[in-house]
Chain A
Amino acid sequence: MDIKYIDPFIQATNHVFNELFNIKPEVGKPFIMDKNQEHGWDVSAIIGIAGETKGAVVLSFPSELAHNLTSRLTGKPVPSPDEDVVDTIGEVVNIVAGNAKKGLEEYRLMISLPSIVTGRNHKIVWPGKNAPIISIPFQSELGAFSLSVVLENIIG
């Protein structure tokens, strides 16, 4: 894992939340996440990474934040049914991934389209056997969310 791969995603997250929602999220201290522990999130978007490093970047949200974001985007104050929320999160993370791609241009990396997983404490199948996962918590006026990363080096 190297900070040069993670940084574009953090920048992209900040940028997208700024532009789309007019929110400036505060980034908290990163820590090592226990993949077996209940994470407490309701929606996760998984972005696959391949190339000179392999792994995944996952953005996780609680359902309340997801609903709030959807409301802000669609302009409807009422919490929307689940498909709308899933679509919205998918779109948002898609844009984040697209933004991050620019920052990763100089590295030999491919980013996949995000896959969405929902359900309280849904199980995410993390790539890389027992590789430690770094979790970066974000705090925003609409709620907390997290960006988790697991990346392994290919050679050596």
Chain B
Amino acid sequence: MADLFHTIRNLWRNITTSGAGELLTMERRRRIVFLNSINLIGMLILFIFSTNRYLGGDINTAIADMVACSILLFTFIYMRARKKFVFASYMIVSSVFLLFSFLLYDGGGDMSSSLWIQTYPLVAIFILGLRPGLIISTIYLAGACCIIFIPEAAKIAYGFNFGLRIVGSYMLVFMFAIFYESARRETQGKLEKLSADLLAAKKQTDSILANVKEGIFLLDNGLRMGSEYSKELERIFGTTEIEAVPFMKLLEGKTKQKVLSAVNDYLEMFFKPAMNIELLEEINPLDRIELHFKDSGAGFMTRHLEFTFTPVSREEGKVNILGTVKDVTDEVELANKLKAQETRTKKQMEQLFRIINVGPDMLTEFILDSEVEVENVNKLLKSDEKNYASIIDSMYQSVHAIKGNAILLGMTGFSRKLHSIEDELNAIKEKDLSWNDLLHQTIRLTEIKNEINDIKDLIKKVLSFQTDNRLQKIENKDLLLNAVQRTIDVMSREMGKTIKLVAEKFDSRMITAKQRKVVKDILIQLTRNALSHGIEHPDQRKALAKDDSGTIVVSSAIHDGKLTITYRDDGQGLNLQKIKNKARAIETFKNMDLDTMPEQKLLSLIFHPRFSTAAETTLSAGRGIGLNLIKSKIEQSGGNLKVRSARGKFCEFVITLPLQ
């Protein structure tokens, strides 16, 4: 039943809007509908009357009606096909003009024509509009007066009084039609102007909302988002589904639950009567917040947002909340980047200075050596080694080695960091090692790796400015002695001593690539010791009738398939008494008979771990692991280390290594 009704309604609509194109104004469409309706009704009436007249024997009227009916039909079809509304409307009005004129002349049945013509002003004005309708209606009135009042003009006699009444009521209808149409037009005009103004205003608002660089939105008293909001909001939240969504749902999963409940409570406060607006602004938990949005992978995209909220009174005492949100991610990240950059730049400047002073190839060697040390520790971590203490020991030795080289190259920042790691390692050596301790140190190891990577990057940058790739050309010879010389340079300045290095009988070519690192480590450690405790101050030396500057002689030789390296300084030699005293303080040796021990045995005590006769731990020396470490490294390589000394005269180390 409802479907049938709908079908009929749609059919009616279709018929009555025949000829109405899409782009016509409301005014026009109304006229067209009116016209079509008149058409249909008119056709129906005329058809009925025509038939009636015909059956009643009144052929003339029947024909006239039929003609009018067909004209209406023609106009209807024409308008539907051609959409020429104006032509159609004039056609209709004119044909009705003629029909009514004929009726007036003819009299209609029982003078019914006088009734019909009353409708003419309405037809003319409503179809054609005020002015044309007015003109045609007046013309018709003039014609009608002629037909009615001129004697013998019409077929029937209307009589003066009746005629006056006809004209009178016509004019009444005419007047009312004019008033009504004018009033309607004025209202229509006002309505259209209002609509146009509203539309223009909305266009402006839409333009603002689409382009403003802030998210603007309204929350109703259920904290749901309104339908009008700025486009920026969609960009910030990464979704177009905002309307009617609860505000809290938009924030869900992007920050901690604690924060979300605080925000919810805060917003609820807006709906309480008599709230203090300034106070509310001050306690806004969202005035600067970090929200984490899930990105396409498993990661997060972080946005820094600033929200403000203001209560807005609506009618019926309802309160809505006006919210704004500004995306300050760029500013915040920039500030963070700048801070990070500052620290990094400071570090890089120091490193760059080093590179320029020291040379990229020396630094490259430092990198390679340090990476080997780190990798050695990592290998132990990956291995099955269950003894945590030995791993810590090994790490200590590696860190110490890297530190030594770092100091050599003047990398104060890095060496300080390594020294603090050494302190940590030392501290935990004393107690039971937990797995957490190991994890801690592994993290430290990654920090060391990071530092090394930074220097590597810096070297790459510097090298890229040079035409030849000096990475390839690391020459054994220069670097070994260079390392020793550098140690001497740096430390002699520190200690206020002068040293001369004599290395004519030293041939680096005798040393294989594999042994290179071990030999280098040894020579450097021996140099450090020589400079720290071996060689005396220039004044002391003068007093002892020695040269002001101490001499270090390094030489190498090959005997019986073995490589021998000799390292000799002309300093104060080893103090046997001091060795004895130190030994007495150490657990292991307390029980030994130190006074009767042969000199050679006593001297070899210096290779024991913890056996340092230096007074305290400094960045450069102390901790007593140096010689012990060297001895074990040499022995690991299948070699031997011996020491000879004469008090006040010299100290000589002889290193023997197998030829590879």
Contact = CB atoms under 8 A, between A and B. Distances in A.
Given A127-B299, A156-B339, 8 more contacts: A3-B436, A30-B442, A32-B381, A32-B449, A110-B300, A114-B298, A115-B297, A155-B340
Contact of B339 (A7, A48, A108, A155): A155
A23 interface: no
A47 B446 contact: no
A121 interface: no
Contacts of A127: 299
A29 B381 CA distance: 6
A152 B108 CA distance: 103
B446 A32 contact: yes
A114 B299 CA distance: 10
A5 to B, nearest CB: 10
A125 B385 CA distance: 30
Interface centre among A3, A32, A115, A154 (most CB of B within 10 A): A32
Contact of B443 (A46, A110, A113, A134): A134
Q: How large is the interface on B (under 10, 10 to 19, 20 to 34, 35 or more residues)?
A: 20 to 34
16 contacts: A6-B439, A29-B381, A30-B438, A30-B442, A31-B378, A32-B445, A46-B298, A47-B298, A51-B292, A54-B300, A56-B298, A110-B254, A113-B294, A130-B453, A134-B439, A156-B339
A2 interface: yes
A130 B318 CA distance: 57
A50 interface: yes
Given A130-B453, A131-B450, A32 B442 contact: yes
Contacts of A136: 439
B522 to A, nearest CB: 28
A112 B391 contact: no
Contact of B343 (A31, A54, A108, A156): A156
Interface of A: 1-3, 6-7, 27, 29-32, 46-51, 54, 56, 105, 108, 110, 112-115, 125, 127, 130-132, 134, 136, 154-156
B442 A134 contact: yes
A27 B438 CA distance: 12
Nearest to A31: B381
A31 B442 contact: yes
- Which 6 pairs between the two chains have the least Cβ-Cβ distance? A50-B300, A31-B381, A115-B298, A132-B446, A30-B442, A110-B292
Nearest to A45: B298
Given A29-B381, A31-B381, A51-B290, A110 B298 contact: no
Contacts of B436: 3, 7
A40 B391 CA distance: 26
A115 B382 CA distance: 27
B299 A50 contact: yes
A114 B294 CA distance: 11
B336 A3 contact: no
Interface of B: 254-256, 290, 292, 294, 297-300, 302, 336, 339-340, 343, 374, 378, 381-382, 385, 388, 391, 435-436, 438-440, 442-443, 445-446, 449-450, 453
Contact of A155 (B336, B381, B391): B336
Contact of B299 (A31, A32, A112): A112
A149 B435 CA distance: 16
B160 to A, nearest CB: 99
A155 B339 CA distance: 7
Which of B255, B340, B374, B381 has the largest count of A CB atoms less than 10 A from its CB? B381
A48 B253 CA distance: 14
Nearest to B391: A29
A113 B290 CA distance: 19
A31 B298 contact: no
A101 B298 CA distance: 16
A57 B442 CA distance: 16
Nearest to B442: A30
Q: For A2, A30, A127, which residue has the most chain B Cβ atoms within 10 angstroms?
A: A30
A112 B298 contact: yes
Contacts of B435: 27
A23 to B, nearest CB: 18
Which of A47, A50, A56 has the most C-beta atoms of chain B within 10 angstroms of its own C-beta?
A50
Contacts of B445: 32
Contact of A1 (B254, B343, B443): B443
A26 to B, nearest CB: 10
Given A31-B381, A155-B336, A50 B449 contact: no
Contacts of A155: 336, 339-340
B439 A32 contact: no
Contact of A31 (B294, B297, B302, B382): B382
A75 B164 CA distance: 108
Contacts of B336: 154-155
Contacts of A7: 436
Contact of A50 (B292, B339, B442, B443): B292
B470 to A, nearest CB: 23
A70 to B, nearest CB: 22
B374 to A, nearest CB: 8
Contacts of B446: 1, 32, 131-132, 134
Contacts of A29: 381-382, 385, 388, 391, 438, 442
B463 to A, nearest CB: 18
Contacts of B300: 48-50, 54, 110, 112
Contacts of A27: 435
A32 to B, nearest CB: 5
A38 to B, nearest CB: 14
Contact of B381 (A30, A46, A115): A30
Nearest to B255: A110
B297 A3 contact: no
A105 B255 CA distance: 12
Nearest to B258: A105
Contacts of A6: 439
Contacts of A115: 297-298
A32 B374 CA distance: 10
